[in-house]
Every structure is written in structure tokens, then in C-alpha cells.
Chains A and B, each alone.
Chain A
Amino acid sequence: MKNRQPAYQAEPANAPRSAGSPLATTAGTLRKRLPLTVAAVGALLVLTACGGAVHADSAQGPSRAPVSGGTLVYATGDTEPACLDPIVSGNVPQALVSTQYLEPLFFQDENGEVGPWLAKSWKWSKDRLALDITVRQDVHFTDGQQLNAETIIRNVAYIKDPKTLSSTGILAVEKVASVEKISEFTARLHLSEPDNALLEHFAQVWVPIQSQKALARGAEANCLSPVGTGPFKVESWSKQQEVVLTRNDDYHTPAPTAGHSGPAYMEKIIWRFLPDHAARFAALQSGEVDVIDVLQPQNAVAAKADPALDTLIGSRPGHVVNLTLNTTEDPFNDVRVREAFVRSVDVDAALKSIFMSTVPRSNSVLSSITKFNRQNPDAYSTDVDKANRLLDEAGWTARDSEGYRTKDGQRLSTTAIQTEAVLVPVSVFEQFQHSAKAVGFELVINQEEPASFNAKRYAWDYGISPLYYTKNSPSVLNIVYDSAHIPSVIKGGYHANNNGLTGPAADAIDQALRLAATTGSEKERGELYAKAQQLIDKQYLSLPIFDQQTRLGFRSDVEGVRLLSPLGMPTFYDTWLDRS
């Protein structure tokens, strides 16, 4: 490999947040040193959100001046979106591609600070129940429509229309009761209650600003060719094959972190869908494609050894990839058993072997780039003696013929559901199964296909479930840990909270989270989220494994590949091909 040091911005600002964590890495070291991770960001499971921070950008101090023109072939390992407009549903695969042609109102930088983008300025009312947003006056969508206050009104209405079938977007504007036009370029959002995460929501590509003219065509047409203000526009979409994006020649609204201004260098991007990991990497190796994502750890190792290939890996914000424990039934209704399980398995060994040391461990339920994350290695370290002690205390003292612990004739056993598309490969479970057995804990692995995986998850038919939730805000905790989101323990159906904890311990967590969401003070918000994390850690509701990541592999002659905060999605605005 070409050993050029990437001009990856080192981000000291990032350090305080993640200081104290062994994870504290600069982007510089991340790139290549820590090519990450695992499996498919099965968009399938990806949830979404707001808040949080950054990570990203990349690219290199090129040896020569950027060249304009050419076609970039990008192969994604994520599933093909059903709709190119991320308002409809709202998942990672949509975010990946729509980052190239859609832009939100605000820009959230790597420190979690929100700044202007399509919006020029904003102003909260005293009671924080109204927000005035003034947009730039010089922006036209690629269909000629000018950006104005009406645009915001139409976009919010579109999101809220039940026929649009929005999932992520509708959650983001949940608190927005109505929108009012103040002037040609200023709109006022009226809220039903204060929402600390609202600006973060409007900094997501899942809540982009689209041409009202285009939206008026209806969801079906809009899905095929959403119209935004981004550096590229959707040219065509051959389902199950590729999306073709062409350059927006009038582009002049780059994100604050962009490396240049004016139109993008690439003339065209072919966005191909290649879900098979081996095939995708082989395609990169043979030069059929220029960039791939969902780069497997073993392939990252191979890319490292290949001078023709480079890698770029960055974390995504939100709830980390974790094993969520179902507290609604035996044996995880006992916190001692939950901790014993967490203490018995060796996450580090798994990361070292299966991921070939390419993925850093997470010791927090929040991603290392999410604001207010609090790494807690003491809580999640392996400690077999303690696991044994806890299980003894919990009454699992007898042993059966196979060496498993029993209580009242019942074997200490739990079932993990697993599916290809989630980020935790089955070999990790196999190792956990092996180490759990050492303390007399039986772990049964149920491999499922995505649909039955979710069916079981909805029905609470699991002991352990691998999960994550992408959102650029610590408020992701409100979604996945608030006990209000356990609506259907019996009935089945979607539930954001998958640990199912109720009772006083849950009440304490709820209280901290709810206060954090509405408090007017950012400092207090930080303290409350820290407290909530502490409570969550203590209850051992989940075992954090690693951050979700964007993992790119690309040909070494592709310059200027960057990840865009806050979601860590790749952007090809600065990208050019060093091919002569």
C-alpha cells in the first residue's frame, strides 16, 4: 500500500469527549490502523436518529491539483433502499446515497455543535416552544425551485403525512405542532413541548430539505428522483442494480468542512448494490469499482497489505452495537445473572481474533463520537470469578450432567437470536457460548433470517438480541431505554426499548432521560445523560461491543474521500480520480 499519511484532520476537540477511553483515537489513526469492523451494516436493522457528532472526512493532501471529470463507481454492501427519499422510512442505506444529493438545514460538526447550512440563522423563543428559521436566499433546487419559507412548511407537512410512511423523519418532527410563514425566507416552528434535540434532528440527512415542487408529485414519484440542493442529482435508478448520480453544475452550498467550493469534481457517480461481501471486495480488488463500503475486517487487513487499496473508517453516532438482554423473563430478570453473563464473556478476545484487531472495543452504550458518551470499562470487563460468584449468589448453584448450572431443576440457559444482516457475526456468539459455558451458563444460538429475527424481537422471544440505533444525539437513549417504549410486551409489534426493564430501577432511568430531553441547560443535559448512562450500566441492560462504523475501502488513486458529520456518511464532493 501506498503509505501516504492521510491528511486526516486530527481533532483535538474530539479528545475530551472520548478521553479516558482506550478508544480515544484520532481519525488519523483510525484510518488504516483501525480498519474496522464487522459485518454488514445491515441497514435492515439500522435505526436512526439525531444528535451526536461526527467523525470523518478524510482524504489526502493530494500530490497534485484535483482533476475534474470522470465517473466514480461506488459499491454498497447495504441493502438497496426502497425509496431514494430518506423521509420515507429513513434508514442507513438511504442516508448513504442521499448524502450525495440532499442537504439538511443545519450542519452539526464533530463536536456536536450545530451551525448553519441551508439555514442562515435560527432563533428560539423564550419558552423554547417556537423556533424561527431563516434560510439562505441564494439557493435553488436542481429543478429550479427556489428555497424559501414555504419549502420548510411543505417539507414538514410531507413528513407528517401518514401516506408518506415516514419512520425516522416523523420521529424527528414529533414535537413540531405547526409551521408558520413569517416572511419569504423565514418560517416559525411551533412545538408542543421543548425539544433539546430538534436542531440535531434538522442536521440529519434523514430530514433533508427537498424542493416543494418535487414533493408535490407525491411519494411514489419522489421516491424515484428526489430533488435537493446537493452536489449531485439523481439521474436514473435501475432497481436492484444501480443508481446513477450526475454532477449538479450550479452547486454552491458545500458543508463548512468541505475542501473546496463550487461544483464537485466527479462528473458522475454510479452507485451499485453488491451485498455479497466477498464479491464486493473482489470487485474492488479487480478495479471494477472504485469505492466499497461495509468493508469486512479481514478485507481491511487485506487492503492494508495491498498497495493499490486504501481504507477509511469512522464511527457513526448513537447506540453502539450491543447485545441487549431481555429482562422480562428468566434468567435475565435478575440483575446478578445479567452482570454474570456480561462478566463471563470475553469481548476483547473476540475482537482480536474474529475482527483481527481491527475494531476497537466500546465500553459505553453511546458511540464514542456521540455527545456525552461515558466510557465505563470497569463495568464491562471480563471477570470470570465475579461471574461465578454472582451466579452462586443468585441461587444457580447446582450443576447438571453437561456441567450447566441449574436452579430448581431448571438449567441456566438463554437464547440469542442472530441474523446475518446484523453487525455481530455468528462466530462472536460461538465464542461467547464457549466462555459462558465455562461458568455453567448455556447460550443457545438461533440463527434467523432478517424477517423472522424481527418477528422474534417484536414478540420478545429472545434472551439476547444484537442491536444498535444510529442517531446523532445522546437523545438516542430516550428512544431505546425509556420504559415508555416497551409498549407491547405481550402483544408483539415494534418496540424501541428491547430490554423491557420495569420497576424502580427503570423509573430512575426514565426520569433522568426525560429531564435531559427537556432541560434548558446544556450543562444539566450533559449531567443527566451521564447519570442515565451510569444507571443503565449498573443494570447491565446490554453489553456494548463496538461503535457502528462507516468502513470504506477504495482504490488508492481515488483522492478526497471524506466522511461527513454528524452521521459519518461518505461524501464525494471533494473526490477526484488521480488517473492520468
Chain B
Amino acid sequence: MSTPTHLTKTITDPEEAMTHSIQTPVLDRSPERRGPAEPRPRTRASLVSQAKELFTGLGPGIIVPLVLMLGLVAAAAIPAALAPSGPLDMNPAEAFTAPGTAHWFGTDESGRDVFSRVIHGARSSLLIGVLATVIGLGTAVVLGALAGLGTRAVDFGVSRFLEVLFAFPGLLLALLVITILGPGVVTTTIAVGLSAAPGYARMIRSQVLSVRRSGYVEASIVQGKSRAFIVRHHILPNVAAPLFVLATLGVGQAIVWASSLSFLGLGATPPDPEWGSMLSLGRLYIGNAWWLTFFPGLFIVLSAATTTLLGHGIQRKLKDK
């Protein structure tokens, strides 16, 4: 479940950071890349143009997923405004209506409008994704910071603990958490979050370490700054930015994993519309009513892919900066 975290290994791994620092001067020396002779001055007056620049600077790599994401967020925030009917409105007489003008995504076994349920499902699915990531990252920040900032012994202890957690594959950890706490949305969220935590923690640790070993922290020590100052003003801000990327990448995966748990019958409580449980129920009818499986699945893929693309976009943006 820690998948996305590994993708960003490229930026956070100290090993990698080393190769970068080796390569950068070389690139710098090639004339066309040489830093701007006279960088454009930034004045307060040009706020508007700055905003403009910010947006044009984004490029389709960020704008397209951003627009999709906004759509999903809108669905999560004001589903009632977008969906033609309530998520629980039933009409058994209309069960299994195929997609058409009356029901864009068809109806399910109780005659509920699948489109409305998918729209309403955005809230719990996104919430699970976001909260699980928050839980995972929160745990990871504590562990990672402990390991990265603590003494050798603390680092050793935390690292071994992480190794142990790593030896439980994500789903296994989630399964145990869920069987202990009982199924449901909250548990799923916690389970997915916790099982993502070790991956995040390992990365935060290496990020903290690389910042801690950076030239500017050393410069700060030479200036006689206190430990607390360095942590607050250098380490935290510089660890936070990649963390944001991690979080964006993590949300998508959390949604996918939560849906897998729903599939195994350990997810959201009915009748709340949640994409994973809709899908897993719909899968029973895959031969009779494909739309029950297809649309919720599509939205899981869509939201996960969207957050990933957004994460990549931000990551590139940060790198360019």
C-alpha cells in the first residue's frame, strides 16, 4: 500500500540526491542552461501578472488533472446539486435499468440511480482517500521525524520497527487492523492509512536526513543557531514540500486499496454509496448489468489517476523551481 511513496524515491533518496548534486554543476556549465544573466525582478505591483504567469506556467500536465479533481471535489462537496436524485432513493420496480436518458449510468438491484450514487459516493471515497493519507502521513511524520532527528539509538529503533511493519505486506496489515477493529468506513480508513505509513515514514526519514546533512543546515549551525531553530525553520519547511507531493500521490492509491478492502467485504457500511462497495456488489451482476461494475470502477480509476497526475505535475513543478 505504500506504492506511491516509492515512486518519489527518485527525489527523496539520499543516494539519488547525491548523483544530482554531482550532475548539476555539469549542466550548469553548459552555456544554454547557464543561469539567467539578469533575472526578472519581482515587484509587488505585478501581482496580477504573477498570477497569470503562475497559471500559464502550469501547463496541461497540471491543469487537466486539476480540472478533473475540481469536478470530483465538487461532487464530494455538493453532491445534491449535481446528482438527479438522492443516493438512497429506491424504486425496486425500476431495478436493473440499463444506462439511458432517464438514468445515465443505469440503476442497481434496488432501482437506485447509479449516477446519483456515484456522485454521492465521491464524498466517502475521497474522504477515505484523503483521511487515510492524512493518518498514514501523520503517523509517518512522527516516526520519520523521530528517526531522522533523534539520536542514533532512536533512529535504529524506529528503523527496525519500520522494517517489521514492512515485512507485513500492506493488505495483510490492513486485514489484521480491520479484523481487530471490525469492518466499516472508519476502520478501512485507519487500516489503509496505517498500512501506508511505513513507506511514508521511510521516505520522510531519508528526506529529513538529507536536509539535516545539507549545506544550509551546516551553515545555520555555524551561525550558532539552536537545534530547535534549525528544525523549525529549515528541516520542517524543506521536508513539507515533497510531503505534499507524496500526499497527492497517496490519495489515489488509498482510494484503490480501500476499494479492494470493500471488495473483500470489509469496507463501507451499506447503504452509504462508496465506490468500492458499489463495485463489489455490482460485480455479482457483471454478466447481467455491466454498468454496476463499470461506472464505480471507472471513477475509482479516474480519481486515483487524477491525483497521481496532479502529484506528478506538482512534483515536476517543484523540481523545476
Contact = CB atoms under 8 A, between A and B. Distances in A.
Contact of B269 (A299, A434, A446, A452): A446
Q: Is the interface of B mostly helix, strand, loop or mixed?
A: loop
Interface string B92-109: 110110000000000011
Contacts of B269: 445-447
B287 A299 contact: yes
Interface residues of B, number: 27
Contacts of B90: 430-431, 434
A392 interface: no
Interface in A433-458: 433-434, 445-449, 451-452
Interface in B169-228: 179, 182-184
Interface of A: 277-278, 281-282, 285, 296, 298-299, 301-302, 346, 349-350, 352-354, 356, 419-420, 425-427, 429-431, 433-434, 445-449, 451-452
Interface stretch (B38-46, B119-127, B135-143, B277-285): B277-285
Contacts, number: 81
A501 to B, nearest CB: 28
Contacts of B286: 278
A448 B270 contact: no
Contacts of A431: 90, 92, 110
B158 interface: no
25 contacts: A277-B284, A278-B283, A278-B287, A296-B284, A298-B285, A298-B287, A298-B288, A353-B96, A353-B111, A356-B96, A356-B288, A425-B281, A426-B270, A427-B110, A427-B270, A430-B90, A430-B110, A431-B92, A434-B110, A447-B184, A447-B265, A447-B269, A447-B270, A449-B183, A451-B179
Contacts of B265: 419-420, 447, 449
Given A353-B95, A353-B109, A431-B92, A449 B266 contact: yes
B217 to A, nearest CB: 49
A453 B179 CA distance: 11
Nearest to B107: A353
Contacts of B266: 449
A456 to B, nearest CB: 9
B88 interface: yes
B182 A448 contact: yes
Contacts of A420: 265
Nearest to B112: A430
A301 B111 contact: no
Given A299-B287, A446-B269, 18 more contacts: A278-B287, A285-B287, A296-B284, A298-B289, A346-B92, A350-B92, A352-B95, A353-B95, A353-B96, A356-B96, A425-B281, A426-B281, A427-B108, A431-B90, A449-B179, A449-B265, A449-B266, A452-B179
A341 B242 CA distance: 55
B35 interface: no
Contacts of A346: 92
Contacts of B110: 353-354, 427, 430-431, 434
Nearest to B293: A278
